[in-house]
Chain A
C-alpha cells in the first residue's frame, strides 16, 4: 500500500496543480470606481454614465459574467435651510427626461426619499447599500456599460436648488471569465 501511495503521490499532485493552474487563469473579480457630479442648481440633475471610460471595465467588457455588487459614495451638500428629499433614478442610455414626474413613472428609482439635512452629508459605499432599490435592474443596466443617472432634490413637493453631489462615485464589483 505504501508503495502505491508513493507512486500515486507525485502524479496526483502534478495533475491537481495543472488543473488549478489552468482554472486560475479564467476567472477574476474586479472593483472599479467611476466618478460623477451633479453641478446644476435647479433641483433636477442628470448624468450619463459610461463605464467604458474606465480602462479595467473597457478591457473586460466583453467577458463580464456577473455584476456582483453596485454601490455609491456621495458627498451631498444641501445649502438650503431646510432638509431636502433626495431621489435617484436610472434609465437605459439615451433618455433625456426633464421632469420628476417622468422619472417617477418611467425610470427605476434606486434611492428613494432620502432626507438630507442642511450642510454636508457623506453617504459611504456601505451606507448606500442599505438604501438601494431595484438592485437587479441597476445591475442589468450597469452590465450594459452605459446608462443615465438622474437625481432630484425636493422640498415640500417642489424641486429646489442649492443641492449638489460632488464628488459622487459609482462602485461596481464584477466577475469576468477570460
Chain B
C-alpha cells in the first residue's frame, strides 16, 4: 500500500508541474496528543509530524504528510500490570482540506479527509501490521500574516488490521505553517 500512496504524491507533484501551475506552497510542523479509541491495551500518547501544503484549487489544499504517534502505557488491566509500552504508529500519506487556504490572514476553518500508509508496531508484544488507513476531521487555521499560520486540527484515524478489524485513534494537534 505504501507504494500507492507514494505514487499518488508523486503524480500530484508532477501534475502541478505539467500544467504549469505554481501552487501556493507551505510547510508545517505539528505536535499533539493521540487518544486510542476503544483499545484497552493502549493509552493516550504523543503525536508529531510534518506536512507540506499545496493549494490545488481555490478552496482545496493537498497535504502530503509524515506523522509519528507513540501511544502510552496501558497500565493495570483486570489486576495485571501489563508493564509494556504502547504501540508506535508511523504513517505517511495525503490529507485534503476543504478550506484552510494558505496565504490569507484571519480565521480559516476547514474539514479534512486523508489516506495514509500506517505501520502499527509494538516491539514487546510482536504486533506489527502495515495497512492503508483513513482519516477525517476538522480544524482551523489562524493566519497571523501571509506567511505564517497557526494550525489546529483534530482527526479520527482508522487503521485496518488483519481480518475486518481496525485500530482507531483521535489525534489532536497544533502547529505552525510557513507559506512560500
Contact = CB atoms under 8 A, between A and B. Distances in A.
Interface in A73-110: 73
B38 A68 contact: no
Interface string A122-144: 00111001100001000000000
Nearest to A10: B111
Interface stretch (B18-26, B46-54, B79-87): B79-87
Contacts of B125: 68-69, 71, 129, 173
Contacts, number: 120
A53 B158 CA distance: 31
Contacts of A27: 38, 164-168
Nearest to B129: A66
Contacts of A66: 161-163, 165
A26 B37 CA distance: 12
Contact of A125 (B37, B82, B113): B82
A19 B80 contact: no
Contacts of A176: 165
A121 B118 CA distance: 39
A9 B58 contact: no
A16 B113 contact: yes
A124 B167 contact: no
Interface stretch (A28-36, A44-52, A147-155, A156-164): A28-36
B48 to A, nearest CB: 23
Nearest to B39: A29
B67 interface: no
B90 to A, nearest CB: 18
Given A9-B99, A16-B138, A30-B40, A65 B84 contact: no
Interface string B112-124: 0100000000101
B136 A20 contact: yes
Given A13-B138, A20-B156, A129 B113 contact: no
B164 A177 contact: yes
A31 B41 contact: yes
A56 to B, nearest CB: 9
Most buried by B among A68, A71, A135: A68
Interface string B145-172: 0000000000010100111111110000
Contacts of B167: 27, 29, 175
**What are the 3 closest A-B residue pairs judged by CB atoms, nearest first?**
A65-B163, A69-B125, A65-B165
15 contacts: A23-B158, A24-B37, A24-B38, A26-B164, A27-B165, A27-B168, A29-B38, A29-B165, A65-B165, A66-B161, A71-B82, A124-B83, A169-B79, A171-B77, A177-B164
Interface of B: 37-42, 58-59, 74, 77-84, 98-99, 109-111, 113, 122, 124-127, 136-138, 156, 158, 161-168
Interface of A: 1, 4-5, 8-9, 12-13, 16, 19-20, 23-24, 26-33, 65-66, 68-69, 71, 73, 124-126, 129-130, 135, 169, 171, 173, 175-177
